[in-house]
Structure 1
Amino acid sequence: MTAAIENHRARLRAGEIYNGLWMMSTSPELAKIGSAAGFDYVCLDLQHGLVRPTDVLRLTDAVRASGDALVTARVAANRFTEIGALADAGVEAIIVPLVSSVEEARAAVAALDYPSRGRDRSWGPTAEIMHNAVQDTRDERPLLFVMIENEEGLSAVEDICAVPGIDGVYVGPSDLAFAVGALPGQHNEAHAEALVRIRTAADAAGVVPGIHCGDGEEAKLRKEQGFRFITSCGDLGAAGRAFREDLGAARS
């Protein structure tokens, strides 16, 4: 798994654009379809989605079965045990929500430090045991993205981006809109300025600027704005659009 993680890390650091699928459902079939479609990453949402820790192994297996997408997950909260458990389960990139300060960013980093780095996290090769391929994975480190989505996080974004161990930041645009007094989905100058500030801070620190989008058209706009780790659609939203399109065609 180390080779796969480091390959993705090197590609992102070199400036590649990653387009991702956001999984709110627990459907391994949709995970396979998304990976086979060619998405660069597939993210399992344990915060606002229906995914729970018991779903992670079968969904990550489904993603890997049909492609080489970066297996990603958003943890429910910035909690030491939960972040480590995702890494133990073989997740290759972890997104941590609501990071509001340097101290919180450092806590997320520490949750991925094995004892070989002099930290407190215990070694639990859950995925390796499940696949009968146990090896010393203490030097493996998933990519770590911290979410900038509230007023405190925006105010500290330059310092957060500079925290060692952070690979990227990931914007939650709806919550960020609320934080600057705007409404999600509506153009607002303060929101636009906040996005520029976050992307500029990431670029200056040499970390990857990421953002959540609802569809491909929005993702294309964010790419033009300089974001490089871009959720391009979600499984439930995309399924709903496809259902309505086909039903509309049938009834027309």
Structure 2
Amino acid sequence: MTEALEKHRASLAAGEIYNGLWMMSTSQELAKIGSAAGYDYVCLDMQHGFARPSDILRLTDAVRASGPALVTARVAANRFAEIGMLADAGVEAVIVPLVSSVADAEAAASALDYPSRGGDRSWGPTADLMHNAVQDTRDERPLLFVMIENEEGLANVEKICAVPGIDGVYIGPADLAFAVDALPGQPNDAHAEAVARIRTAADVAGIIPGIHCGHGAEAKVRKAQGFRFITSAGDIGAAGRAFREDLATARG
């Protein structure tokens, strides 16, 4: 994992734009297709998607089998054991939802760092054992993205982005809309201001600004706004659009 992760870390540090595929299903086939298609990262969603701990190893293997995509996962909640489990499974980037305070951000960062680096992580070489390649990983840690998506998180965003160990911030636009008394998917000045504030806070802190998008057209707009870690498709949504388009063509 180390060599691939360090290449991604260097690319992101150099300012490259990463476009990602969001996996809500547990389909190994779709994970392979997404990686082979050239997405820069493939994210396994354990919060609102169907992935569970027992799915993670086979899905990460599927992503790596077809390309060099950054293996990413969103944990279900900001809990020490679950974050550590993803790191043990060889996930290269972890997205933590509902980070509302400096204490939340520090807890997430601590879960990914071993005591030798000032954290609380416990060594569990799950992926290494499965692949018969146990290594010293004390200096290795996945990238960490924290989600700003509620009123408290928005109020604390500048302080959160400055927490050591945070590599990037990831916006959940729908929950952020609710946080500013708006509706998801509808133009709203308060929402646009909140998105801009989060991106600016990330830029000032020198971390990666990320955001969730439902399709490529929206992702292109967010790229122009300065975001660099951009989910540009979801497996279920993209499959549904392709099915409907093909069916309309067949019937038309």
TM-score by length of 1: 0.99
Q: What secondary structure, in the 3-state scheme, does the structure 2 residue paired with 1:183 have? A: coil
Count of residues in correspondence between the two structures:
252
Matches within 5 A, 1:177-216: 177-216=177-216
Q: What secondary structure, in the 3-state scheme, does the structure 2 residue paired with 1:181 have? A: coil
What residue ranges of structure 1 are gaps of 5+ in the alignment? none
Which moved further from structure 2: 121-130 or 72-81?
Answer: 121-130
Mapped to 2, the partners of 1:121 and 1:54 lie a distance apart of: 20
Q: What secondary structure, in the 3-state scheme, does the structure 1 residue paired with 2:218 have? A: helix
1:28 is matched with 28
Question: Is 2:245 the counterpart of 1:245?
Answer: yes
Q: Deviations over 1:80-101 (max 9, x none)?
A: 0000000000000000000000
Matches within 5 A, 1:49-60: 49-60=49-60
Mapped to 1, the partners of 2:121 and 2:237 lie a distance apart of: 37
Matches within 5 A, 1:33-44: 33-44=33-44
Mapped to 2, the partners of 1:194 and 1:238 lie a distance apart of: 27
Matches within 5 A, 1:101-120: 101-120=101-120
Counterpart contact for 1:63–1:71, Cα < 8 Å: yes
Counterpart contact for 1:115–1:123, Cα < 8 Å: no
Q: Deviations over 1:116-160 (max 9, x none)?
A: 224332101100000001111121100000000000000010000
Counterpart contact for 2:96–2:146, Cα < 8 Å: yes
2:166 is matched with 166
What residue ranges of structure 2 are gaps of 5+ in the alignment? none
Counterpart contact for 1:23–1:49, Cα < 8 Å: yes
Q: Deviations over 1:223-252 (max 9, x none)?
A: 011100000000000000000000000000
Question: Is 2:229 the counterpart of 1:229?
Answer: yes
Q: What secondary structure, in the 3-state scheme, does the structure 1 residue paired with 2:201 have? A: helix
Mapped to 2, the partners of 1:192 and 1:119 lie a distance apart of: 35
Alignment-mate amino acid for residue 225 of structure 1: Q
CA drift of 1:115 comes to 3.0
2:62 is matched with 62
Counterpart contact for 2:100–2:153, Cα < 8 Å: yes
Mapped to 2, the partners of 1:89 and 1:180 lie a distance apart of: 36
Mapped to 2, the partners of 1:193 and 1:65 lie a distance apart of: 40
Q: What secondary structure, in the 3-state scheme, does the structure 2 residue paired with 1:100 have? A: coil
Alignment-mate amino acid for residue 195 of structure 1: V
Mapped to 1, the partners of 2:10 and 2:109 lie a distance apart of: 19
Mapped to 2, the partners of 1:125 and 1:135 lie a distance apart of: 8
Mapped to 1, the partners of 2:134 and 2:200 lie a distance apart of: 41
Identity %: 82
Mapped to 1, the partners of 2:28 and 2:69 lie a distance apart of: 14
Q: What secondary structure, in the 3-state scheme, does the structure 2 residue paired with 1:19 have? A: strand
Mapped to 2, the partners of 1:215 and 1:157 lie a distance apart of: 26
Alignment-mate amino acid for residue 9 of structure 1: R
Over the aligned positions, Cα root-mean-square deviation in angstroms equals 0.7
Question: Is 2:7 the counterpart of 1:7?
Answer: yes
2:147 is matched with 147
Alignment-mate amino acid for residue 49 of structure 2: G
Question: Is 2:73 the counterpart of 1:91?
Answer: no
Moved over 6 A (4+): none
Which moved further from structure 2: 114-123 or 95-104?
Answer: 114-123
Mapped to 2, the partners of 1:96 and 1:9 lie a distance apart of: 18
Counterpart contact for 1:20–1:43, Cα < 8 Å: yes
Q: Deviations over 1:53-81 (max 9, x none)?
A: 10000000000000000000000000000
CA drift of 1:110 comes to 0.4
